[in-house]
Amino acid sequence: MAKSKPRVKAPKSASKGEVITIKTLISHKMESGQRKDKQGNVIPRSIINHFTAKFNGEVVFEVDIEPAISANPYLQFKMRVDEPGEFEFIWNDDDGSVYTKKQKLKVG
């Protein structure tokens, strides 16, 4: 796909102290830099190289991503809920693009 599109599945509300599961997926071909085209030229590497999950501005989970992560990178991780607030998910592309997605979390 021309432009990468993130998808996030995280609860909209949780109770204090609960550990929630967050799933993320982003469309990206994850060109490894290991492949050659039909003319024998190396296809340059072009991947999502970093992922950050923040909650209320604080980093809760990060991933350094290598070309060995599959196309359309999938990440699943946990977070303990201490207070209500807002998630911010950030994907960094080799080409300098930054993709973000925000989502609110209620505590009740």
Partner 1 sequence: MKEMSRRQALALGSGLVAITLLPLPATASIEEVNEDIKKFTGGAEAAESAIIKLEVPEIAENGNTVPLSVSVDSPMTADNYVKRVILLAEKNPNPGVATFHFTARSGVAEASTRMRLATTQNVVAVAELSDGSFHMTKSTVKVTIGGCGG
Partner 2 sequence: MELKNKATVSALGVAFAALLVPGLLAGGEALALPEGIETVKVAPTSKDHPLDEILSGWHFRSPETQALQEDDFENPAFLWVEQGEELWSTVEGAANKSCSSCHDDASETMATAGANMPKWNEALGKPVNLEQQINHCRTERMEADAWKWESTQLLAMTAYVRNQSRGEPVAVQTDGPMKPWFEKGKDIYYTRVGQLDMACSSCHEGYYGQQIRADRLSQGQTNGFPTYRFKWQKIGSLHRRFKGCMKNIRATPYKVGSDEFLALELYTAWRGQGLPVEAPAVRQ
Give the β-pairing of 48-55 and 85-93.
antiparallel
Q: Name the segment binding partner 2 (CB under 8 A); options: 50-58, 67-75, 84-92, 96-104.
A: 67-75
Buried b (16+ CB within 10 A) or exposed e, 41-55: eeeeebbbbebbbbb
- State both tokens at 75: 């990440």
Q: Name the segment binding partner 2 (CB under 8 A); options: 52-60, 65-73, 85-93, 98-106.
A: 65-73
Paired strand residues for 26: 6
103 binds, among partner 1, partner 2, none (CB under 5 to 8 A by kind): none
Whichever of 13 and 56 has its CB closer to partner 2, that residue is: 13
| Residue from the set 42, 59, 71, 98 that interacts with partner 2 by CB under 8 A | 71
CA distance 43 to 48: 16
| Residue from the set 63, 84, 90, 107 that interacts with partner 1 by CB under 8 A | 63
| Residue from the set 68, 83, 95, 96 that interacts with partner 2 by CB under 8 A | 68
Q: Pick from 10, 21, 16, 13: which is nearest to 83 by CA?
A: 16
46 binds, among partner 2, partner 1, none (CB under 5 to 8 A by kind): none
Does the protein bind partner 1 through residue 66 (CB under 8 A)?
A: yes
